[in-house]
């Protein structure tokens, strides 16, 4: 068992969001390639781009799964760490007793 554990939930949360954004942009790559049709003015360049897009589909699918997993794990780390920190802080807060009605007579 580990003797200590440390993490920065804010950094983990930001990294989770960043990876989710990369995943989202990667998923929309098909639309990006569709938008460039005819933009290069070269059939050879467009054929090379189409070939690249077609041949990279397996790798994009794998990368999508890896990004989803990493983003989820980092998001869970951030949420879990913050929840544990809050629970510990709440447990360590001293309970304040309401003031006694009718004056201060001390403990009963």
Does residue 31 have a pLDDT over 60? Answer: yes
The residues spanned by each domain of the chain are: 29-89
Does residue 42 have a pLDDT over 80? Answer: yes
Look at residue 21 in the predicted model and tell me its pLDDT: 96
Does residue 97 have a pLDDT over 70? Answer: no
Does residue 40 have a pLDDT over 90? Answer: no
81-108 CB burial, b ≥16 within 10 A, e <16 = beeeeeeeeeeeeeeeeeeeeeeeeeee
Look at residue 6 in the predicted model and tell me its pLDDT: 81
Counting beta carbons within 10 angstroms of the beta carbon of residue 79, is it exposed (0 to 12), middle (13 to 18) or buried (19 or more)?
A: middle
Report which of residues 94 and 26 the model is more confident about: 26
Confidence of residue 20 (pLDDT cuts 50, 70, 90): very high
53 within 8 A of 29, measured Cβ to Cβ = yes
Confidence of residue 104 (pLDDT cuts 50, 70, 90): low
d(CA 35, CA 85): 47
Does residue 38 have a pLDDT over 90? Answer: no
């Amino acid at each position: 068992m580990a003797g200590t554990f440390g993490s920065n939930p804010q950094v983990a949360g930001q990294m989770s969001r960043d990876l989710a954004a990369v995943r989202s942009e990667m998923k929309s790559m098909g639309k990006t390639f569709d938008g460039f049709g005819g933009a290069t003015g070269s059939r050879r360049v467009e054929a090379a781009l189409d070939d690249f897009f077609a041949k990279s589909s397996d790798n994009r699918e794998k990368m999508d799964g890896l990004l989803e997993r990493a983003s989820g794990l980092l998001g869970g780390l951030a949420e879990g760490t913050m929840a544990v920190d809050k629970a510990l802080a709440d447990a360590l807060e001293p309970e304040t007793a309401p003031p006694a009605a009718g004056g201060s007579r001390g403990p009963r």
